[in-house]
Chain A
Amino acid sequence: MRGSLLPWAAAAAVVCLLGRLMALGTAGTGEALQVHIICFNFETVRVTWNVSEPSGENLTFFYTFDSGEAYGQCTHYILRRGLTAGCILDFQDQVLHFSIRNATHALFTHSQWASFYLKPGAPRNLSFQWQQEKVAVTCPGLAHGGLLYEVQLRSNFDAAWQSKEEETCNVHIEGLDAEKCYCLRARVKTTEAAYGPDSYPGDWSEVSCWYGGLPSDLCPDVPISPGFPRFILICSLVALLTLCLVLLSLWKLGRVRNLLVPTVPDPKSSFSGLFEQHQGNFQEWMKDAQNVAHLPRTGSGGGELDCGPEEALVVQVAKTATALDSLSRSSEEGQPPGGCSQLFRRPPQSGPVVSLGGFEFVMSDGSYVML
Chain B
Amino acid sequence: TFSDVLLFVLSDFFRKIFILQLAGLVLTYNFTDCDFEKIKQKYQKTIYNDLKEYMNGAKSTQFNSTVSCNNKSDCLAEIERLTFSAPRGCAPLAREAFALRTRATFALQCPGYSRTQTNNTQAAKKTKEREITTKKCLEQVSQLLGLWGRFCRTLWKR
Interface residues of A (CB under 8 A from B): 1-2, 67, 93-95, 110-113, 115-116, 141-147, 167-168, 191-198
Is B40 among interface residues, defined by CB-CB distance under 8 A?
yes
| Inter-chain contact B61/A197, CB cutoff 8 Å | yes
Instruction: For B48, give the chain A residue with the smallest CB separation.
Output: A193
User: B9–A94 contact, CB under 8 A?
Assistant: no
Q: Is the CB of A113 within 8 A of B65?
A: yes
Instruction: Please name the residue on chain A nearest to B156 by beta carbon.
Output: A145
The majority secondary structure among interface residues of chain B is helix
Closest chain-B Cβ to A290's Cβ sits at a distance in Å of 113
A53 to chain B, nearest CB (A): 24
Minimum distance in angstroms from B48 CB to a CB of chain A: 4
**Docked pose: A141 CA to B156 CA in angstroms:** 9
B153 within 8 A of A: yes
Cα of A1 to Cα of B48 in the assembled complex, Å:
49
Q: For the complex, give the distance between the alpha carbons of A167 and B156 in Å.
A: 9
Are A116 and B149 interface neighbours, CB within 8 A? yes
B156:A95 contact, CB within 8 angstroms: no
- In the complex, the answer to whether A2 meets B43 with C-beta atoms within 8 Å is no
In contact, A142 and B68 (Cβ under 8 angstroms): no
Are B146 and A194 in touch, CB under 8 angstroms?
no
Q: Which residues of B contact A146 (CB under 8 A)?
A: 149, 152-153, 155-156
Name the one of A67, A115, A116, A168 contacting B157, with C-beta atoms under 8 angstroms. Answer: A168
- Inter-subunit contact A193/B149 (CB<8 Å): yes
| Chain B proximity of A263: nearest CB distance (Å) | 87
Q: Does residue B59 face the partner (Cβ distance < 8 Å to A)?
A: yes
Q: Interface size of B by Cβ–Cβ distance < 8 Å?
A: 28
Q: Are A147 and B156 in contact (CB under 8 A)?
A: yes
Q: Is the beta-carbon distance between A115 and B65 smaller than 8 angstroms?
A: no
Contact B156 A194 (CB under 8 A): no
Give CA–CA (A197, B58) in the complex, Å: 11
Decide if B61 touches A93 in the complex (CB within 8 Å).
no
B146 closest partner in A (C-beta): A113
The residue from A2, A116, A145 contacting B152, defined by CB atoms under 8 A apart? A145
Asked if A144 meets B156 with Cβ closer than 8 Å, knowing A111-B66, A112-B61, A198-B59, the reply is yes
Give Cα A192–Cα B158 distance, bound, in whole angstroms.
21
Q: Which residue of A lies closest to B149 (CB)?
A: A194
* A136 shortest CB reach to chain B, Å: 16
B154 adjacent to chain A (CB < 8 Å) = yes
- Residues in A with CB closer than 8 Å to B31 are none
Give the interface of B toward A (CB within 8 A): 5-6, 9, 12-13, 40, 43-44, 48, 59-61, 64-66, 68, 145-146, 148-150, 152-158
Of A94, A112, A168, most buried by chain B (CB within 10 Å of CB) is A112
Note all chain A residues with C-beta closer than 8 A to B13: 2
Residues of B within 8 A of A112 (CB): 61, 64-65, 146
29 sample A-B contacts, Cβ–Cβ < 8 Å, listed by A number: A1-B5, A1-B9, A2-B9, A94-B68, A110-B64, A112-B65, A113-B150, A116-B60, A116-B61, A141-B158, A143-B156, A144-B153, A145-B153, A145-B154, A145-B156, A145-B157, A146-B153, A146-B155, A146-B156, A168-B157, A191-B44, A192-B48, A193-B149, A193-B152, A194-B152, A195-B149, A195-B153, A196-B61, A198-B59
Inter-chain pairs besides A145-B40, A198-B61, 15 sampled, C-beta below 8 Å: A67-B68, A112-B146, A113-B150, A116-B61, A116-B149, A142-B156, A191-B152, A193-B148, A193-B149, A193-B152, A194-B152, A194-B153, A196-B60, A196-B61, A197-B59
- Give the chain B neighbours of A168 by CB distance below 8 A: 157-158
State the Cβ distance, A5 to closest chain B Cβ, in Å: 8
CA gap between A145 and B43 in the complex, in Å: 13
Report the bound CA distance from A191 to B150 in whole Å.
Answer: 12
State A116–B9 Cα separation when bound (angstroms).
Answer: 49
Chain B residues within an 8 Å CB radius of A115:
149-150, 153
